[in-house]
């Protein structure tokens, strides 16, 4: 393995570390009483963090700098960001009533997939990410961006449109989450049953 790949401080890994560091900053902004400039600040930091989610993997592949550290931290950083933002948006009541169920579906799927990945890693099985799962992630990230902006977005779009757009995309992400989560679980359960058969 090359020195660049072993280096825990190569650029792709630094981007991942930055995404993790962005989580408490975004949470702090959302915990602050609703104020337009604070919401725009939160949205700006969240957007940069979302961009690094694409860049770290892309650069790691392009420069052949994939590392065990990066493979471990990348999904953790994603889940920390999405989970924390979802919880804070429920706290601020930007997500409320029936839409809380959409947030619960997304959080439950993340926990399910994390458990499956941990098991599959032990048996050295990789389940590739589908194109639909990538669309799910995109809808999820964009929906949270709209909801972070909240009422501050009324200065750009007609009143209420920012919030409504965020909720619509959140439900689309939740529905895609159900489908891709089931698809992932179905692929993983075959390996779980196969492992049980080998052990018996």
Instruction: Give the mean model confidence (pLDDT) for residues 65-88.
Output: 84
Euclidean distance between CA atoms 128 and 102, whole angstroms:
25
CA atoms within 13 A on the CB side of 73: 21
Query: Which range among 31-40, 83-92, 183-192 has the greatest average pLDDT?
Result: 83-92
Residue-wise pLDDT tens digits, 145-171: 999 999 899 888 899 899 999 999 999
Specify the pLDDT at position 128.
Answer: 62
Name the token pair of 136: 């799910």
Helices within the chain (DSSP H only): 3-6, 11-31, 36-62, 68-91, 99-122, 131-149, 161-199
**123 and 48 in one domain?**
no
pTM for the whole structure: 0.84
Q: Using the 8-state DSSP alphabet, how is residue 150 labeled?
A: G
pLDDT beyond 90 at 181: no
Query: Is 87 domain-assigned?
Result: no
Domain final position from 24, 53, 81? 81
Structural domains counted in the chain: 2
Per-residue pLDDT band for 72 (boundaries 50, 70, 90) equals confident
Compute how many other C-beta atoms are within 10 angstroms of the C-beta atom of residue 98: 9
Kindly tell me the sign of the dihedral angle through the C-alpha atoms of 33, 141, 78, 37.
negative
Specify the pLDDT at position 11.
Answer: 77
Domain final position from 58, 81, 104? 81
**194 and 135 in one domain?**
yes
pLDDT beyond 80 at 21: yes
Domain final position from 81, 109, 140? 81
pLDDT beyond 90 at 197: no
Domain range for 128 is: 93-200
| Polymer length of the chain | 200
């Amino acid at each position: 393995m090359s020195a660049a790949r072993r280096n825990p401080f190569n650029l792709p890994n630094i981007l991942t570390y930055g995404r993790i560091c962005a989580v408490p900053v975004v949470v702090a902004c959302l915990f602050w009483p609703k104020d337009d400039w604070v919401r725009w600040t939160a949205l700006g930091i969240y957007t940069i963090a979302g961009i690094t989610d694409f860049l770290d993997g892309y650069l790691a592949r392009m420069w052949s700098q994939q590392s065990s550290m990066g493979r471990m931290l990348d999904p953790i950083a994603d889940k920390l960001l999405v989970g924390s933002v979802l919880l804070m948006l429920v706290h601020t009541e930007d997500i409320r009533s029936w839409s809380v169920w959409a947030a619960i579906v997304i959080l439950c799927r993340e926990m399910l997939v994390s458990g499956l990945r941990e098991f599959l890693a032990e048996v050295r099985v990789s389940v590739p990410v589908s194109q639909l799962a990538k669309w799910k992630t995109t809808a999820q990230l964009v929906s949270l961006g709209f909801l972070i902006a909240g009422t501050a977005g009324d200065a750009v779009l007609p009143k209420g449109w920012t919030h409504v757009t965020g909720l619509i995309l959140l439900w689309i992400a939740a529905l895609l989450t159900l489908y891709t989560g089931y698809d992932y679980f179905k692929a993983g359960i075959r390996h779980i049953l196969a492992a049980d058969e080998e052990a018996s």
